Amino acid sequence: MEARMSIGKKFIHDISHPILRWGYIFVIPGLLSYLLFTFYPTIRSLIQSLHLIRGAGNPWVFNGINNYLDIFKDKIFWGSLKNTFYYVALTIPLGTIISLILAVVLNSIVKARGFFRALYFIPSVAGVIAVGIVFSWMYEPYLGVLNLLLSKLGFPRLNWLRDLKMAMPSIAVMNIWQTLGYNVVIFLAGLLAIPAELYEAADIDGAKPLRKLLSITIPLVAPSMWFVIINNTIRNLQVFSEIFVMTGGGPGHATTTVGFRVYQYAFLYLSFGKASANVMVLLLIILAVTLMQLRFFERRTQVEF
């Protein structure tokens, strides 16, 4: 009985203890899955990036850092890097601001709040492929509904996805539209957690709505905001499906992102070594963003507690 009661209070080193052994047994699938499907592929990606691999079944030839040198010499690679950051810059600030405003408005009403929140969330469950196909149809230059709206409002028609300058913003608009409901849900959860007393106290002090927004709402919703920004940034840095469905990287290479380049190298040019070199570049960028996130949370906790 003594040994049983001690579980949960201190570490027990006796692995053969009949109850504690189960801790190791239960954790096996997690460890195996981590080793097989996270650790091993990540190391293998690095090793692959140092080899020439023509097609999935063929032998590897050691190539040193030449895959990296080759992609660094490639204009399309730098273009894809630029396009990826451009996509993030187009989607994250605007998407965050619009959804924050919507969440603040939703927070100010009582009736039908859940109804609107659910409606706004529908695009998030519909999936990028389906939604991308529908947007491609709406963006269609001759028969699409968006050009009809533009011409009715007296604006010139646009070529949307087929225009060098418009293609990326058009995809970004869809992404903002699609992730709006997701962001609103996160923000609303943050807003609902703000104690009502703070606003009451501000009312007593005669604070104006804008003042309350800047002094209470924004600072207290900041953790949700950081979560949304970092989470969406990491996801949008990996953008692939939107590009695959809506433009195939074109026109020219105007919407070729790093994620799409990985797919092109691996499955169109069957050059798995260079695909892996692209993957490693993407991995480094994402790790950098994640470290920024960790540093931010460290600083926050130091300030707050």
Partner 1 sequence: MSYSTKKDAKQIITYVVLSIVALIILFPFFWMISTAFKPNTDIIRRPPIFLPTEPTLVHFQRVFAQVQYFRMLYNSLFVAGMTTLITIFFSTMVGYALAKYRVVGLNLIFILILSGLMIPPFTIAIPLYIVATQIRLVNTLWGVIIPFSISNFGIFLMRQYCLGIPQDLISAARIDGASEFTILIRIVFPVVATGCTALGILKFLLTWNDLFWPLIMLTEEANKTLTVLLATFIDFERFVDYGLLMAMTTLVVLPVIFLFVVFQRRIIEGVALTGMKG
Amino acid at 79: G
C-alpha 161/C-alpha 175 separation (Å) is 14
User: Among residues 159 and 231, whose Cβ is nearest to partner 1?
Assistant: 231
Least distance between partner 1 and beta carbon 134 (Å): 5
The tokens 């028609």 sit on which residue? 157
Nearest to 284 by CA among 68, 54, 135, 97: 68
First to last CA, the chain: 40
User: What angle separates helix 75-108 from helix 218-237, to the nearest 10 degrees?
Assistant: 150
Q: Give the whole-angstrom CA distance, residue 190 versus residue 183.
A: 11
Q: How far apart are CA 222 and CA 269, in angstroms?
A: 44
Residue in the structure block whose two tokens are 């009582």: 110
Q: Nearer Cβ to partner 1, position 127 or 195? A: 127
* DSSP class of 157: P
CA–CA dist 158, 300 (Å, integer)? 45
Q: Using the minimum distance from each CB to partner 1, give the nearer residue, 127 or 219.
A: 127
Q: Phi then psi for 159, rounded to 5 degrees?
A: -90, 0
Q: How far apart are alpha carbons 199 and 192 in whole angstroms?
A: 12
- Sequence-ordered list of residues with C-beta below 8 angstroms from that of 302, at least 6 positions apart, any chain: none
Nearer to partner 1, 95 or 123 (CB): 123
In the bound state with partner 1, the residue whose beta carbon lies nearer, of 112 and 218, is 112
54 to each of 174, 227, 266, 272, 275, how far by Cα in Å?
Answer: 36, 40, 9, 7, 11
Nearer to partner 1, 131 or 221 (CB): 131
Of the pair 79, 144, the CB lying nearest partner 1 is at 144
